[in-house]
Structure 1
Amino acid sequence: MALYEHVMIARQDLSNAQAEGLIEHFGAVLADNGGKLVDSEYWGVKTMAYKINKNRKGHYAFLRSDAPSAAVQEMERLMRLHEDVMRVLTIKVDAHEEGPSVQMQKRDEREPRRERRA
C-alpha cells in the first residue's frame, strides 16, 4: 500500500465537532476500502488567501493514510460530492514524518530556516 497525506478545507459555518466528524467519516471510508488512517490533525479555522464559494475562512484538517490507490480515489470522490468540503489536496509521500506537522508545531520547535543564497 502507498502512503498519502491529505489536506481538507471544510465550510466555516460548521462547528468544531462537525469538522472533526468529517475526519472520522473519511477515515471510515478508507477503512472500508482496505486502507487505514494513520494519523489526523484538526488545524482549526483559518483565514484563506481568497474566497472559495463565498467563504473567507475554513476548517482545515490534515490526514495521513496508508491505503491502496482505489481507496484514496473513492475517498476523494466522496469528498468532492460532500457539500461541507470545499477543497482537498492529496499528495503521495515516500514516508510519513514523525510527530506533529509543521502547522501544529510552535515557532521555537521548528528547524531554523536556511540562509538564502545571493
Structure 2
Amino acid sequence: MNQYETVFILTPVLSDEQTKETVAKFTKLLADNGAEVVNEEAWGMKKMAYAIQKKSTGFYYLVEFKAEPNVIKKLETAFRRDEKVIRFQTVKLEKHAIEYAEKRRNKTGKKEEA
C-alpha cells in the first residue's frame, strides 16, 4: 500500500451541506475500495490565482490516504465525472513527505487543542 495526498477544489456556489456531502462521497469511495483515510483537512474558501470555469474562488479540501495504486484511477474518474469539482491533484507521498505530513498534522492538532 502506498500513501497518497489529494487536493481538490469544489465550486464556490455550494452550501456547507452540499460541500460536506460531496467530500463524504469521495471519502466513501476510498473506503469502499479498501483505502484507509489518514487525514482530512478543509482549507476553506480561497481565491485562486486565475479564474477556472469563470470562477475566481473555490473551496479547497485535502485528503491523505493509504491505498493500492488501482484506487487512484477510480478516484480521479469520480472527480472528472462530478461537475462540482473544479480541479484536483493526487500525489504519491515518499517517505520524507510522509514524515513532513505527520509533523504538520501534529502541529495543527496541538493548535486546535489549545
What one-letter code is carried by the residue in structure 1 that aligns with 2:52?
I
What one-letter code is carried by the residue in structure 1 that aligns with 2:4?
Y
Identity %: 34
Corresponding residue for 1:32? 32
Aligned counterparts, 1:58-69, within 5 A: 58-69=58-69
* Larger helix fraction of residues: 2
Deviations 1:52-104 (A, max 9, x none): 11111000001101011111210110011101001001110024322546xx9
Aligned counterparts, 1:1-118, within 5 A: 1-95=1-95, 96=98, 97-100=101-104
Question: Structure 2 unaligned runs (5+)?
Answer: none
Aligned structure 1 segments of 4 or more residues deviating by more than 3 angstroms: none
> How many Å separate the matches in 2 of 1:44 and 1:21?
15
What one-letter code is carried by the residue in structure 1 that aligns with 2:31?
A
What one-letter code is carried by the residue in structure 2 that aligns with 1:94?
E
Corresponding residue for 1:112? none
TM-score (norm 1): 0.80
Question: Structure 1 unaligned runs (5+)?
Answer: 110-118
TM-score (norm 2): 0.82
